Amino acid sequence: MLQNQHTTNRHYSYVKDKLQNGLQRFITHESFGGILLVFCVVFAMVVANSQYADLYFWFQKFEFGFFVGSLELKIEVLHFVNDILMSFFFLLVGLEMKREMLYGELAGFKKVSFSIMAAIGGIILPIMLYLYFTAGTPYEKGFGVAMSTDTAFALGVILLLGNRVPKIVKVFLVTLAVADDLGAISVIAIFYSDQIHMFWIGVSVCIAGILGYCNYRDTKYLSLYFFFGILLWISVYLSGIHVTIAAVILALTIPGRTQRVNRKYFRNMLSEFDRIKMITNNGADILQIQENDNLGFWQSTWRNIKNFMTSTPSARNVNMAKASELVYILDSIGIYARYAQNPLLRLEHALQPISAYFIVPLFAFINAGVHIDSYMDLGINGVMFGTILGLVIGKPLGIFLFAYLGEKCNLSVRPEGLGNFHIFAVGAISGVGFTMSIFVANLAYGEDIAAINLSKISILIASSIAVVFGIILMGLATRPSRKTKLEEHTEV
């Protein structure tokens, strides 16, 4: 029994290490993706205010698709990027949330509550500031713009400071951003959905139930999840709820713990290993092959020619049959090993580079371009002041205050090594809105192009201020103390 418990603990440790390595890969991809994101935003602004501006806005509205007889399906590039490609981005966000809740810093109520409390503060206070400037106007519905964090860009800012930033600070930023994204997705689903159709909501619930059953049965086939995920996306779209929620539901049904199926594949692999032992005389034939490998080129060639000339046809047939069977067995082991992999890890590992290097930068380029001219009204009912102050002031204050209150009220436990200055600096960096804020702006203001453009300008200004503010604060928070410098000098 103790041996079984030790084996279980070792298996859990292995899976946890794999998921933590996944977190490290995510940080690496997202950090570089943040730098690429900056380039795309700047490039979009330059193009939108150059002689190629007409071409840029024409490309946004360009329609493509296909038709079969009288049936015609087409979609604008802007909607294709925002509704379809960004669904993969939100799928990745959902996978990150599930991974953190299963094995990461969000595992356990006290641990998860620290990041969640901080994220709640980073949502409530910016919304209050935005509504203070826009209450009673048609633009108050854009409150979601001031509460969002761009994880990729925020991690890109952290990357600029190099190894001086402790790992716990990076992990806190990621978990905070994940909790923040969960809040943003909830706001999008509740406040920025169109007219609700109950029939399609019922269909969506049924499809989600099928996905949940697949998860319960430890189904390993990602193609099956994607098939039902597409059906779920269509039904959620037709229901009037924003499709981001479909991507998150799909992510939460992807298996992250597959012990039942893994035991089956491990048993199959063990039986294949037994067959290898039987075919190779408990490995004696393999050892003999290794001895032959140690011979020189000419000796090995002469031995092979001699064996070929002196061996009987039946012996050669036996050797060929044995070699073929060994290849078949190794092939089977490879298939079992592939199927035994964690589906959540496989999918997240595949989506990370696609999201960081293609989807998010393309979204930024398509959406960030704003044509600035003298006719732009910068005082549209407090949109600019609400957005900038919400992201730059409300975000860090809300995160710090709620994290502090959660700890003092014994609702959460602060991660070891994370100081107050670190929390406030992370809050400042979280004021970088970009992707999520622009996404919400497009939903909130609908066809009001003037409000969307002003909101985008406000987001760019606020994010730029947040970057500078965050770098200064994080630099101060992570600078070596006098005691550390003295110890380093003494060691030298």
Of the chain, the percentage scoring pLDDT greater than 90 comes to: 13
One DSSP character per residue, 408-426 reads: HTTS--PPTT--HHHHHHH
- Whether residue 259 has pLDDT greater than 50: yes
Confidence of residue 227 (pLDDT cuts 50, 70, 90): very high
- Whether residue 271 has pLDDT greater than 60: yes
Q: Give how far Cα 252 sits from Cα of 96, 208, 214, 368, Å.
A: 10, 10, 12, 30
| 3-class DSSP assignment, residue 184 | helix
- pLDDT for 492 equals 46
Q: Which residue has the higher pLDDT, 344 or 69?
A: 344
Average pLDDT estimate for 272-281: 66
Average pLDDT estimate for 218-228: 86
- pLDDT for 359 equals 87
Confidence of residue 393 (pLDDT cuts 50, 70, 90): very high
**At 31, which amino acid appears?**
S
Residue found under tokens 């909501």? 201
- Whether residue 219 has pLDDT greater than 60: yes
Each residue of 413-433: pLDDT tens digit? Answer: 887 788 888 899 999 988 887
**Exposed e or buried b per residue across 292-326, where buried means at least 16 C-beta atoms within 10 angstroms of its C-beta:** eeeeeeeeeeeeeeeeeeeeeeeeeeeeeeeeeeb
- Whether residue 318 has pLDDT greater than 80: no
- Whether residue 488 has pLDDT greater than 50: no
- Whether residue 401 has pLDDT greater than 60: yes
**3-class SS shares of the chain: helix, strand, coil, % to 5:** 80, 0, 20
| Angstrom distance (rounded) from CA 96 to CA 40 | 24
Sign of CA dihedral 275, 280, 286, 289: negative
The terminus-to-terminus CA distance of the chain in angstroms comes to 52
For residue 64, the cross-strand partners are 75
CATH numbers and ranges of domains, the chain: 15-101+109-184+352-491 (1.20.1530.10), 261-339 (no CATH)
Residue found under tokens 């061996």? 311
Q: Which residue has the higher pLDDT, 28 or 83?
A: 83
- CB proximity list for 446: less than 8 A, separation 6 or greater: none
Residue found under tokens 């356990």? 108
Q: Which residue has the higher pLDDT, 261 or 309?
A: 309
- pLDDT for 290 equals 47
| Angstrom distance (rounded) from CA 438 to CA 82 | 10
Confidence of residue 183 (pLDDT cuts 50, 70, 90): confident
Q: Say if pTM beats, i.e. exceeds, 0.85.
A: no
Of the chain, the percentage scoring pLDDT greater than 70 comes to: 66
Interhelix angle 343-354/222-239, nearest 10 degrees: 60
> Two tokens at 143?
């409150």
E-assigned strand segments in 249-397: none
For residue 66, the cross-strand partners are 73
- CB proximity list for 101: less than 8 A, separation 6 or greater: 107, 112
| Angstrom distance (rounded) from CA 474 to CA 480 | 12
